[in-house]
Amino acid sequence: MFNTHPAHHGVATGCLHQRRWAWLAGVLLLFFVALVQSPAAAQTRQPAPLLDKNRQPFPPAPAVKDGPLSPAVKRALALASADWKDYRFPQAAVRALGASRDPRMAWYLFDVLRFASSGRQLEVVRAFEQLTGASLPPDPHTAMGDRLLAWNLPAPPGYREMKRDLYLLIEPRWAPLFADAESAVDWRHVGWGGVYIDDRPDATAGQPCPRGCIPALDQPKVTPASEGGWYPADAVVFGVVVNGQARAYPKPMMEIHEMVNDTLGGRQLGIPYCTLCLSAQAYFTDRVPGFAPLLRTSGLLSRSNKLMYDLRSGSVIDTFTGKALSGPMRKAGVTLEQTTVVVTTWGAWRAAHPMTTLLAQDGGIGRSYPLDPLGGRDAQGPIFPVGDVDPRLPVHEVVLGVTGPQGQALAFARAAAQLALAAGEPVGLGGVEVRNEAGGLRAFAGGQELTAQQSFWFAWSQFKPGTLLWQR
């Protein structure tokens, strides 16, 4: 909704002058009323109290001072490091940090909580509450992370190294991800998703990771649409078209692998899918000067979004934007080119693209895929911290996100857009027109298709702050 702020004017002299201003004010009022009542009215987020995913305000952030760590904090960190290396919980260090009066260390306590046993978590919670002055509800992990993200407290000096030393005790193969001291990764936002890194050099045969990971699938076997009767017509697929060739990726298979490296239309593609964000992207991984990226899932998260990386260079790449954040690809300024993923049903996609291919029923690796591998895991909302939310939509409302021709981030509520299009109403905002094709949404500007992606609202709005929102 737009706010109007009338300009301050001097006192008018004469009735004619007054009538002119009255006329102008009336015109502006009519314009404003028409604008806010328009079905395609753009909404920008207005300044408001920071709200959690249940639209409740967060407690006030603690006051933070800049400067180096105190000697007491440095001693506590040294104690913690020694205890972790001996596989002991750093009880004395946690208590010292809780009493340190340096709220920046709350980020480290949050990291400790993730790796603490259930019997030790209460000690971390008490230290966090003492340090920040804010009590935590019964779900301490999510609540602690939500508070820190909403407060946006600065990281303590040397935080990357603190986090690296702790995380590498869990998974030494994360070392390349922490190696770039000048990386653009915001390490405050990075957490462990509960699985380990996928660093297999070849994911064509379906061999599992030694310790368990989210296993990518390389160059999967495909079949023609005529052999796709095994997949229900009303089940969801992610559709991609490259150089006139179409392919459908069944959602259950993407929920298992979360990353597919494929060849379509003569181009190499990396297709990550973040189940927590409900967001699939398709990135071209060929024609990257100096690199031949092979995308993998690290097992880490960034604000509930998967943290992907290039296996060959060790570079972290932003899953939402394709921008390299660390390593050699960051130094080279690489941002992967993206193409649209259409989220639709297999029946609608096949009808629109009769020559489409579909991933083989066993993925080409002899594996079976249940139709609902997650079992409604996200039905109660985000299961990892997301921080403060944009209250214009519920956190799990599905939107189509796109960057407009002027660089403005735009979002279209999917359900409302489809209803409007079905009723013959135009759906547009910021020079972008949305169309329903093959049962899914696509975005266009000036007759040219724009790259678009679908996701939960909390994910799009946190990675694209300042988004203009279309609602019917």
Domain range annotation of the chain: 21-50+386-472, 71-170, 192-359
Say yes or no to pLDDT of 33 above 50: no
220-258 tens-digit pLDDT: 999 999 999 999 999 999 999 999 999 999 999 999 999
| pTM of the full structure | 0.87
DSSP state of 225: G
Under 8 Å between Cβ of 381 and 53: yes
- What local confidence, expressed as pLDDT, does residue 31 receive? 35
Query: H-helix or E-strand containing 177?
Result: helix 175-178
Q: How far apart are CA 294 and CA 200, in angstroms?
A: 10
CA distances from 129 to 96, 135, 188, 377, 383 (A): 13, 5, 18, 29, 22
Does residue 92 carry a pLDDT above 80? yes
* pLDDT tier at 45, thresholds 50, 70, 90: low
**Which residue type sits at 293?**
P
> Which has the closest alpha carbon to 453: 327, 298, 375, 342?
342
Overall average pLDDT of the 67-82 stretch: 97
Q: What was the pLDDT predicted at 49?
A: 72
What is the mean predicted confidence (pLDDT) over 124-145? 93
Q: What is the pLDDT of residue 211?
A: 87
Q: What is the pLDDT of residue 55?
A: 85
Read out DSSP for 273-332? EETTTTEE-EEE-SSBTTB---EEEEEEEETTEEEEEETTT--EE-TTT-BB-SHHHHHT
Q: Which of 17-26, 120-129, 188-197, 392-401 shows the lowest per-residue confidence on average (mean pLDDT)?
A: 17-26
Q: pLDDT band at 208, cuts 50/70/90?
A: confident
* Higher pLDDT among residues 10 and 353, named by residue: 353
* pLDDT at position 54: 83
- E strand or H helix that includes residue 130: helix 121-132
Q: Does residue 334 contact residue 324 with C-beta atoms inside 8 Å?
A: yes
**Mean pLDDT value across the chain:** 90
Q: Grade residue 270 by pLDDT with cuts at 50, 70 and 90.
A: very high
Q: pLDDT at position 11, please? A: 31
Of 163-172, 363-372, 376-385, 410-419, the least confident? 376-385
Whether the pLDDT of residue 6 is over 80: the answer is no
Percent share of the chain, pLDDT over 70: 90
Dist CA 137 CA 395 (whole Å): 20
Q: What confidence score (pLDDT) does residue 44 get?
A: 57
Confidence of residue 48 (pLDDT cuts 50, 70, 90): low
